[in-house]
Every structure is written in C-alpha cells, then in structure tokens.
Structure 1
Amino acid sequence: MTGTGETLLSVRGVETYYGKIVALRGVDVDVHRGEIVTMIGANGAGKSTLMMTICGNPQARTGQIVYDGRDITAMPTHEIMHLGIAQSPEGRRIFPRMTVMENLQMGAALVDPKHFEDDLKKVFELFPRLKERIGQRGGTLSGGEQQMLAIGRALMSRPKLLLLDEPSLGLAPLIVKQIFDAIRELNKNEGLTVFLVEQNAFHALRLAHRGYVMVNGNITMSGTGAELLKREEVRAAYLEGGRH
C-alpha cells in the first residue's frame, strides 16, 4: 500500500519472539486512515507485544509492518516515532518527577514549537483536569489523571496514528467513560486514526469501527465493533460479568 491509499498501517505475517518463546504467530492487522480499530484479548494474549513490535521494540522476526507507505519492520524505535506514530503505553509511564506541563513539553519535543500553544489548548480542552494540575508533579496525580496525561503527552507530538495500550486499566468506570469519550472526540473532530489495545472489550468494541480478537498470539476473529459485540464467543469470553 502507498501512503495515498486507504490503509495507514498494515501488519502482515508478523511473528515476534521473546528469546525462544513465540509471542505473535503470523499476525495480520490493517488500520485505515480515520478509523478507530481495537484489539481485544485476555491478559497475556500478545496485544501489548503487537503494540511494541509496531514501535520497533522488540522487532518482528518475520513478516512486514508498513506505515504510511513505508516499510518500518526493521527501523529503530526513535526513527519510527519521527514518522507520526505516538504511543500511550500500558502502565502510563509518565515522567513522575516532572510537572504536568513538563510532561507535555516532552511530548512536543519532536515537532515544530510554533504549534505548542495551540496543541496545549486542545489537550486542556480535552482534559480540563490537566489544566488544573499544570504545576503538579506527574507522580502525585491520580491514576485517571496520569492516564489523561499519558494520552495528552502523546497528542502533543501531533501524531497521524495514536497507539493506546490498555487506557482503561485499573481506572474507575466514570474515568474510563471520560477517557473513551475523549478518544471518540479526537477521532470525530480531528480525524485522528487510533489503534487501541484493551481488556475492556465492551467499551472498546462500542467505540471502535473495527476490531480484532487475539488469543495466544493469534488473531482468531475480526469484524466491525458491532459485529464482534454480537458474537456469542466474544460475549462468553469477554463480556460476561454484568456489562450491558
């Protein structure tokens, strides 16, 4: 695919290993421009490994990853990050000793400084709580605020593709709703392409245009978010326990 085509990210036949252990087994995934695509699966299924492999660490042993018409399979992570991919990793990984403002400045380090004030304003409109905490150290924020900061920091790099790894993990339902509403808003208003890895299948599939199910490093199902929500296997494995 070229960058002028519909597909922004194409993953083909990707296998990733940790030592001799196979973590991804011939994974095929497409993310089209302007879409929200989600990957659901149990803890340890390989979802986060796929995110990290897209970002070049670890690198795919076999297969190909093409982003915006460029083969990035063997590229080092720092080069991939310069191409307009931003990641909000699992566990948030903000800079705990830096203030909210300093964290956001770190996110903007790779882009033209003339956009900084506009981008900062957008992040604060999306997450007003961050504006209230602007001088506070990241490590003293609540879990939900840290997640907002991790996403805000990623957005400051003006990405074409935002990778979100478990943004709802460990957060209260009300905060989860705020985070998912923000993702929806970014996609709808800014046209931002989002690839989302989630254990919270209910919220993720309701949000996503399309979804994939991963089991033990394999893609076992794919379809629209609505289709997967209706699938009996998905409901039994991921949606039992009172979600409605």
Structure 2
Amino acid sequence: MSVAGINVLVEETRALQAPLLDVRGVSAYYGSIQALKGVDLHVNEGEIVALIGANGAGKSTLMMTIFGQPQARTGSITYAGRDITRMATHEIARLNIAQSPEGRRIFSRMSVRENLQMGAALHGGRYFAEDLERMCVLFPRLKERLDQRGGTMSGGEQQMLAIARALMSRPKLLMLDEPSLGLAPLIVKQIFSAVRELNEREGLTVFIVEQNAYHALKLAHRGYVMVTGAVTMSGTGRELLDNPQVKAAYLEGGQH
C-alpha cells in the first residue's frame, strides 16, 4: 500500500473512534456579547489538533469554555464519553485534562521546583520524583533553574515551566493556549519540538490554540480555522498549510 493509502486508512480508522474531546454546537457569551457561534470540533485520542485564527477570533474563549469558564450556553462538550458541559472548572481538572493557559500564569514567587510540585498535587505528589526527572529531560533549561523563582526567568523559560507544570498532572489531554506568544523563534521551535516528542513517544493527545499558524499546522495532524467565533474551515495540517485562503490570511511572512 502506498504512503498516501496508509494515511487515508489511518484517518478513516480515527474517524470510526469516538473522539476523546467532542465539541458540538457550542455557543458562549460574555454578558450579551456572543463570543462563540455554534462551534463544532473534535480531538481524537493520540492526535495533535490545532485551532488557528486571528487575535480576537474566539480561540482562547473556546479553550476556557471547554474548562467551564465561561460555561457554554448552547451545545455540548464531551470528554472521554462524559458530558462536561455543565461541570465546574475544578471538577474538569480532575479528569486527566491539563491546561497551559495564555500568558503562562506561573506562580512567580515560587521556585521552579515548587511550581512543578503544584502541578503534581492532583496525584498527591506520588510521582513527583519520577516526573520531575522527565520534565528535566524534556526541558533541560528547567533543570538548571529548579531553585530559581519562576518570575525571574525569561519568557521562554516561563512557558516551558507552564507546560511542564501541566504535564506533572499526567494528563491524557494537554491543552495549550498560545504557547508561542511573545517568544523568540528559536524558543518556539524548542517548545513545539517537545510537544511533538510527547505525542510521538507517549501518545499524548494535544489541543493547541495558536496565532502562529505555520508552526501549529506543521505540528498538527489536523487543524481548524476560527473567524469571529465560528469554525470556518478544517482539514489536515498539510491541507490547511497548502490552502490559498489560509496562506493569504495567516501565513504570509509568518514562516519562521
């Protein structure tokens, strides 16, 4: 069978599986302002799925809505076959979903080690030593700064810490909100390389929200495009990279 035929078979097999994360007809509001307009998307187990769009398109709102803040006004959100649409954020966090939010939001006064301990708290710290070693291998920069306050590190190092803290909870689904925001191209490549390694080596499922369409779609198995609160396009990462509309809107001058 040709490589193309194998890829089609893989996509068909994935399509037959129930999605790990399934968002159907979701609308959300901030007061009277509608931020999401009937969003449909899904993430299969073992996939990396990217959601791209301009600033203000509603990408981060969708990620926050999946985590219950704000809650969806219409539609449904299902995770691992369980309806989480009306669940509280702290309850969702216990379901093997971890989020690295936009703006990193690390504990700036705590050391790197203490930040990672906070991430491990979901399991009572049982796997802390083991997972600390994993994070130090994945992000060697953090190993050099375990006793340094998080707030004194560079933006790229703080982003690595935010992702590592999320991973310390041993999630089945990792949700990344704008991980490349404000970072130098070299750091962006290091972070995306780490995400790819986690997916390929450990089978981690990843849903990534990004303005940096080029890097996100290169990384992703599949992608969605969001415009003013609605999903307007979807396809494989390669299909969207090659799409003339996507190129014109999001890729011109953006290939770093």
Per the shorter chain, which TM-score range?
Answer: over 0.9
Q: Give the equivalent residue in structure 2 for 1:202.
A: 214
1:94 maps onto 2:103 in alignment: no
Following TM superposition, the consecutive aligned residue runs of length 4 or more in structure 1 with deviations greater than 4 angstroms are none
Cα deviation, 1:53-99, whole Å, max 9, x if unaligned, reads 00000000000000001000000000000000000000000000000
Q: Give the equivalent residue in structure 2 for 1:126.
A: 138
Which residues of 2 match residues 1-244 of structure 1 at below 5 A? 5-241=17-253, 243=255
Q: Which runs of 5+ in 1 are unaligned?
A: none
Q: CA deviation at 1:6?
A: 3.8
TM-score computed with the length of structure 1 as normaliser: 0.97
**Percent identity, aligned pairs only?**
74
Cα distance change of structure 1 residues 7 and 139 upon mapping to structure 2, 3 Å threshold: same
Q: CA deviation at 1:112?
A: 4.4
Partner SS, residue 134 of structure 1: coil
Cα deviation, 1:131-153, whole Å, max 9, x if unaligned, reads 10000001000000000000000
Mapped to 2, the partners of 1:108 and 1:223 lie a distance apart of: 35
Mapped to 1, the partners of 2:243 and 2:50 lie a distance apart of: 16
Mapped to 2, the partners of 1:139 and 1:109 lie a distance apart of: 21
Mapped to 1, the partners of 2:117 and 2:138 lie a distance apart of: 17
Q: Which runs of 5+ in 2 are unaligned?
A: 1-15
Mapped to 1, the partners of 2:96 and 2:179 lie a distance apart of: 20
Mapped to 2, the partners of 1:177 and 1:20 lie a distance apart of: 39
Partner SS, residue 165 of structure 2: helix
Amino acid at match of 2:200: K
Mapped to 2, the partners of 1:71 and 1:5 lie a distance apart of: 17
Q: CA deviation at 1:242?
A: 5.4
Partner SS, residue 24 of structure 1: strand
Q: Give the equivalent residue in structure 1 for 2:13.
A: none
Mapped to 2, the partners of 1:33 and 1:204 lie a distance apart of: 18
Question: In 1, are the aligned partners of 2:26 and 2:72 still within 8 Å (CA)?
Answer: yes
Q: CA deviation at 1:241?
A: 1.4
